[in-house]
Chain A
């Protein structure tokens, strides 16, 4: 399993809902959560594959900021 960590700007309930639709449709994703309490609004994904680039692309296309948080 891969754990993918991103910095985002998902900070409202509405934005969270939009992201939910997008991520829940992704079959490679086992689980995910966004820590909206954190300044980086961290999106944490547990995925079967390392699809970092694809996720950044999808979230960005939906109009949100999304960048991988380095180790």
Chain B
């Protein structure tokens, strides 16, 4: 059922987009601070300054809330990732675009990105991934297929490809997140280190 299609009459409990934004922001903060086990609908309602009853108008339970927030955030992330990208791009150019978009999203939405990474490692990941990769996967598959056909990418297993193509980027973003790299060295993400790393990745992946 489309949640937005509810028809309300005066005097009934009303959905309010301002409240939904408030709920989303607070839910992400609590989940990052207290973890999944420390998260409860009661705590969230209190943080938002709304009643538990109101919260349940929007969400059926904790699971419904986390899955829907995950889907929403995942879709936002993928939209950003696809900006100016096309599967027909030459491989090096397309991968560069992907790195630029992914890092820009991560740096602009740090809390949301951390939330998404966190729930990806939980049992909530299944329904979220199913929903958001529907449109994303065919595009990325086409990109890789074109690149191999055009001899711009070595043929390899999907896991080898992904870990080399994107693993290094997420390692740099993880360093940025901590403010430190290996051995507690202070680190600040920069385009310079990003492009430097990307160049090495392209050397490894391309014939």
By a beta-carbon cutoff of 8 Å, the part of chain A in contact with chain B is 1-3, 5, 33, 35, 37-40, 42, 44, 50, 68-71
Contacts and interface: CB of A to CB of B under 8 A. Distances in A.
B122 to A, nearest CB: 15
B129 to A, nearest CB: 23
Contacts of B62: 35, 37-38
Contacts of A40: 42, 52
8 contacts: A35-B61, A37-B40, A37-B61, A38-B41, A38-B42, A42-B52, A42-B61, A70-B53
B134 interface: no
B54 interface: yes
Contacts of A50: 12
Chain B contact-residue range equals: 10 to 19
A33 B51 CA distance: 19
A65 to B, nearest CB: 15
Interface string B29-57: 00000000000111000000001111011
A37 B56 CA distance: 13
Most buried by B among A5, A50, A70: A5
B13 A71 contact: yes
Contacts of A1: 6-7
